């Protein structure tokens, strides 16, 4: 790290590159934290974790004992070990004893994207509750037709306040907080929906993964899904970037217009009868091929072979989009991880190293801030894979039972994991004391070249 700092001071590297190197170094040094401890009040398995998206300070957790808790991960409630170990106890707990609390396991707990005053919980008791974090009261709730597996809200949305809910039912429901009613439903899956993910580049696009093994792309402004992923539809590696100069664009546009005019003249010349009189074009102006294409565009994939395409041989248990919105990672009960190109809908054939995944529970995946690493719960451990090579780089083992969820806090470069052992563990880079910093600086100074010009 000190080498990067000295190079930045000398102006050898740019600010963005310096930041990237420091963050990468901190991620590669993640280990079980020896200076931060979260005291969990839950008496059941931890099913959901999320740090708020506005301040990056408050951690929200939901558990199978129908309780939800909030922690301040930046300000400790007390200290131990002479002030070295920070203890973070919950600053808010809601359980079954609450008058509006859930009766069964909480499967999903998420923050309202633009304000820490609201958070949303989904439970196996068929209810989705919207809570006021200041008063611990339910603002609005929604009755669902079955167990709630996952809820999600778009972090980009400025035109809607919709909660996407995946349940035992085959339909995905969109709940509107402002009106307290269902906006509409998305029909297409043939079994329950266990995973949801909003696009990180478009507030109207939603990705859903069902128990039927299908992953569907939805534009919530229209009826029906516009894409169904097929694991046999593949492309190798990253999609090449298309870079065109202005001159190339101008030349191609000119050639295309010239070609269109010449082809138009050719078609007009061909459409003459034997007597030399031209035939009037039809009022619709569409050829047979265009009409066929229009029929396919009305409802792509529905009631056709494409509609039955599958992304996994089993339940789609987890979905996670990269920060740029170009790729989507999926996990299935077939213990497979697949990386998809969002634009083309192709399987990129990234061969993730063999691993075992849970088959009956939704999995919460996480990616690093530059989307180079993906964190995946793999039974009793958490593995970090390189997103583009599929190689397993790190293996985090400290839980005694299966890991269900994880969340990467890009602000502090910390990782939080929750498991069936009822514990929330913190994985963080090493924290150096002032004495250790002084020693490292002395070592750096002793290793530098001495100025012997005066000799």
All domains of the chain in start order, with CATH: 46-238+303-366 (2.130.10.10)
Query: In the β-sheet with 172-176, what is the strand arrangement from edge to edge?
Result: 148-152, 162-167, 172-176, 181-186
Least confident of 56-60, 189-193, 232-236: 232-236
Distance CA(367)–CA(327), nearest Å, equals: 12
Q: 286: pLDDT confidence band, cut at 50, 70 and 90? A: very low
pTM exceeding the 0.95 threshold for the entire prediction: no
The pLDDT value given to residue 190: 92
Where does residue 173 rank: exposed (0-12), middle (13-18), buried (19+ CB within 10 A)? buried
The pLDDT value given to residue 442: 58
The pLDDT value given to residue 37: 93
The pLDDT value given to residue 29: 82
* 184-191: average pLDDT: 91
Residue 166 reports pLDDT greater than 90? yes
Q: Do 387 and 369 contact (CB within 8 A), yes or no?
A: no
Residue 318 reports pLDDT greater than 80? yes
The pLDDT value given to residue 118: 94
The pLDDT value given to residue 369: 79
Q: 12: pLDDT confidence band, cut at 50, 70 and 90? A: low
Where does residue 255 rank: exposed (0-12), middle (13-18), buried (19+ CB within 10 A)? exposed
Residue 377 reports pLDDT greater than 90? yes
On average, the pLDDT of the chain sits at 81
Per-residue DSSP letter, 190:
S
- The 3-state DSSP class for residue 330 equals strand
Q: Which helix (H) or strand (E) holds 78?
A: strand 78-80
The pLDDT value given to residue 66: 95
Residue 195: alpha-carbon gap to chain centroid: 11
Distance CA(416)–CA(424), nearest Å, equals: 7
Distance CA(31)–CA(396), nearest Å, equals: 8
223 or 92, higher pLDDT: 92
Distance CA(130)–CA(120), nearest Å, equals: 5
Cβ neighbours for 78, distance < 8 A, ≥ 6 positions apart: 87, 89
């Amino acid at each position: 790290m000190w080498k990067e700092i000295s190079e930045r001071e000398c102006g050898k590297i740019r600010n963005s590159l310096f930041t990237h190197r420091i963050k990468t170094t901190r991620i590669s040094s993640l280990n079980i934290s020896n200076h931060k401890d979260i005291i969990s009040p839950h008496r059941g398995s931890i099913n959901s974790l999320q740090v708020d998206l506005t301040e990056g300070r408050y951690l929200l957790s939901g558990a199978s004992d129908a309780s939800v808790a909030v922690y301040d991960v930046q300000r400790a409630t007390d200290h131990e070990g002479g002030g070295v170990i920070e203890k973070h106890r919950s600053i808010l707990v809601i359980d079954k004893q609450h008058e509006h609390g859930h009766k069964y396991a909480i499967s999903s707990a998420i923050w309202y994207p633009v304000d820490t005053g609201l958070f949303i919980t989904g439970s196996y008791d068929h209810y989705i509750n919207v809570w006021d974090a200041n008063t611990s009261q339910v603002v609005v709730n929604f009755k669902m037709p079955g167990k709630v597996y996952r809820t999600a809200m778009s972090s980009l949305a400025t035109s809607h306040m919709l909660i996407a809910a995946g349940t035992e039912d085959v339909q995905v429901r969109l709940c509107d907080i402002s009106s307290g009613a269902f906006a509409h439903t998305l029909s297409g899956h043939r079994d329950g929906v266990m995973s949801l993910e909003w696009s990180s580049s478009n507030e109207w696009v939603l990705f859903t993964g069902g128990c039927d093994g299908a992953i569907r792309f939805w534009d919530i402004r229209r009826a029906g899904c516009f894409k169904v992923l097929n694991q046999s539809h593949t492309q190798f590696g990253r999609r090449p970037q298309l870079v065109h100069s202005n001159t190339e664009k101008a030349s191609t546009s000119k050639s295309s217009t010239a070609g269109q005019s010449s082809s138009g003249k050719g078609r007009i010349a061909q459409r003459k009868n034997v007597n030399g009189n031209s035939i009037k074009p039809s009022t619709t102006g569409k050829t047979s091929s265009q009409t066929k294409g229009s029929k396919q565009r009305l409802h792509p994939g529905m009631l056709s072979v494409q509609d039955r395409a599958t992304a996994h041989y089993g339940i789609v248990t987890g979905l996670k989009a990269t920060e740029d919105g170009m790729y989507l990672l999926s996990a299935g009960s077939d213990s497979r991880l697949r990386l998809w190109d969002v634009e083309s809908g192709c399987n990129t054939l990234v061969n993730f190293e063999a691993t075992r995944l849970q088959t009956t529970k939704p999995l919460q995946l996480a990616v690093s801030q530059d989307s180079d690493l993906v964190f995946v719960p793999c039974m009793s451990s958490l593995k970090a894979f390189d997103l583009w090579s599929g190689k397993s780089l790190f293996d985090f083992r400290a839980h005694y039972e299966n890991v269900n969820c994880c969340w990467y806090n890009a602000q502090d470069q910390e990782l939080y994991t929750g498991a069936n052992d009822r514990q929330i563990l913190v994985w963080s880079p090493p924290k150096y004391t002032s004495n250790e910093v002084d020693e490292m600086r002395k070592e750096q100074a002793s290793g530098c070249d001495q100025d012997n010009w005066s000799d």
